């Protein structure tokens, strides 16, 4: 069995090295070969040398590739193009972020998901590692809605933690949407398209990757901008998935719900967590307005 994992990166720092070391430590079952393909989106000779120095063995290999076009979407598409045209058979493929460290049983848990549910795509949580900022953790949990579910059938997955049956995904030749390169959400749209086609996506709480949060995420602007982008990309995705008329109708009803939820959480359920929820829905509302009035978000948070 051959598994290819894409790690798209524009950085070369301690977190990146921890991700590589974490991937090297995952438990790989017998008769399984893992190829981690690093897509370098900001060429660094030091990074290339670092990757090339790590020795491969009969169960694990590191492959280095360069993507000169800037942006995560171009890097993800580089991985897809490379694997779609790969000469050898690939059984599973997937992604992990360059600031995430998989638990040692990460791969085993994903493979269990495929066996247990006969699904096409397996995804799991990204959990903050060694973070004691209670305020930020509450905000973080709001943005990770399935984090407390053991197993759940879901409609999309993210590239921070996902594995999929390669031949089934390759059959449709779907690529990540360039429009969302600076906005975010291209992974959600990618897997939403596959779900709409009929592919089954399962969330496994035990297939964990740990994230080390960046210092800037402790400030309110990150949470506000992330929520705003969710609103914007959600409106774009509704139109892209269901057509402009149905998509705009869905977005309008969501807009009304976001406003109601924002008011209710602020007035009726008044506590700190609900203030965060109010802020979340308020900024999602603003994001939908941005989309309706053609104001594109230029800075990625």
Nearest-10 crossing angle of helices 134-142, 272-292? 50
pLDDT grade for 141, boundaries at 50, 70 and 90: low
Give the Å distances, CA to CA, from 280 to 179, 222, 225, 285: 23, 11, 9, 9
pLDDT grade for 198, boundaries at 50, 70 and 90: very high
Per-residue pLDDT of 58-115, as tens digits, reads: 899 999 999 999 999 999 999 999 999 988 899 999 999 999 999 999 999 999 999 9
Rounded CA gap, 184 and 204, in Å? 23
Nearby residues of 282 by Cβ (< 8 Å), 6 or more positions away: 227, 258, 262
User: What is the residue-averaged pLDDT of the chain?
Assistant: 88
- At residue 262, the pLDDT reads 84
Place of tokens 């929820």: 277
Which helix or strand (DSSP H or E) is residue 65 part of?
Answer: strand 60-66
Rounded CA gap, 85 and 81, in Å? 6
- At residue 273, the pLDDT reads 65
Distance of CA 152 to the CA centre of its chain: 17
- pLDDT at residue 53 greater than cutoff 60: yes
Per-residue pLDDT of 144-195, as tens digits, reads: 655 666 789 999 999 999 999 999 999 999 999 999 998 999 999 999 999 9
Per-residue pLDDT of 227-237, as tens digits, reads: 899 999 999 99
Against a cut of 0.75, is the pTM above it?
yes
- At residue 258, the pLDDT reads 86
């Amino acid at each position: 069995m051959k598994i290819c994992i894409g790690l798209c990166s524009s950085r070369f720092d301690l977190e990146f090295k921890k991700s590589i070391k974490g991937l090297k430590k995952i438990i790989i079952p017998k008769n399984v070969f893992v190829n981690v393909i690093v897509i370098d989106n900001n060429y660094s000779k030091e990074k290339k040398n670092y990757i090339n120095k790590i020795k491969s063995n009969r169960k694990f290999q590191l492959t280095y590739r360069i993507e000169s076009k800037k942006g995560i979407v171009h890097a993800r598409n580089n991985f897809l193009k490379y694997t779609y045209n790969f000469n050898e058979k690939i059984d599973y493929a997937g992604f992990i972020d360059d600031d995430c460290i998989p638990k040692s049983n990460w791969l085993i848990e994903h493979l269990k998901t495929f066996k247990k549910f006969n699904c096409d795509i397996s995804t799991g949580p990204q959990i903050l590692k060694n973070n004691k900022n209670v305020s930020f953790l509450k905000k973080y949990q709001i943005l990770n809605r399935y984090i407390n579910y053991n197993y759940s059938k879901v409609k999309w997955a993210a590239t921070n933690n996902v594995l999929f049956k390669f031949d089934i995904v390759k059959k449709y030749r779907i690529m990540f949407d360039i429009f969302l390169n600076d906005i975010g959400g291209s992974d959600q749209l990618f897997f939403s398209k596959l779900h709409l086609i009929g592919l089954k996506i399962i969330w496994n709480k035990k297939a964990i990757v740990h994230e080390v949060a960046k210092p800037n995420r402790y400030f309110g602007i990150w949470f506000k901008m992330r929520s705003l982008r969710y609103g914007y990309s959600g409106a774009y995705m509704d139109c892209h998935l269901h057509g402009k008329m149905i998509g705009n109708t869905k977005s309008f009803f969501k807009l009304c719900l976001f406003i109601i939820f924002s008011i209710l959480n602020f007035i009726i359920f008044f506590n700190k967590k609900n203030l965060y929820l109010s802020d979340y829905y308020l900024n999602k509302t603003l994001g939908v307005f941005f989309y309706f009035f053609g104001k594109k978000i230029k800075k990625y948070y």
